[in-house]
């Protein structure tokens, strides 16, 4: 749900910028 998504965002903050960009693309895919 939304809570797990927010928790995932907190984890992403500790990741490298490259991994973050990949997850952004994935998030946009799931949201669209």
CA distance 12 to 21: 10
Domain count, the chain: 1
- Find the domain containing 18 and state its range: 2-31
pLDDT digits (tens, 9 = 90+) for 7-31: 888 887 777 788 888 989 999 998 9
> Which helix (H) or strand (E) covers residue 27, if one does?
helix 17-31
The contacts of residue 19 (CB under 8 Å, 6+ apart) are 12
Using an 8 Å Cβ cutoff, are 23 and 12 in contact?
yes
Q: What is the pLDDT of residue 11?
A: 80
Q: Which residue has the tokens 């952004």?
A: 24
């Amino acid at each position: 749900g939304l809570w797990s998504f927010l928790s995932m965002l907190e984890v992403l903050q500790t990741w490298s910028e490259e991994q973050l960009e990949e997850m952004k693309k994935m998030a946009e895919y799931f949201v669209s």
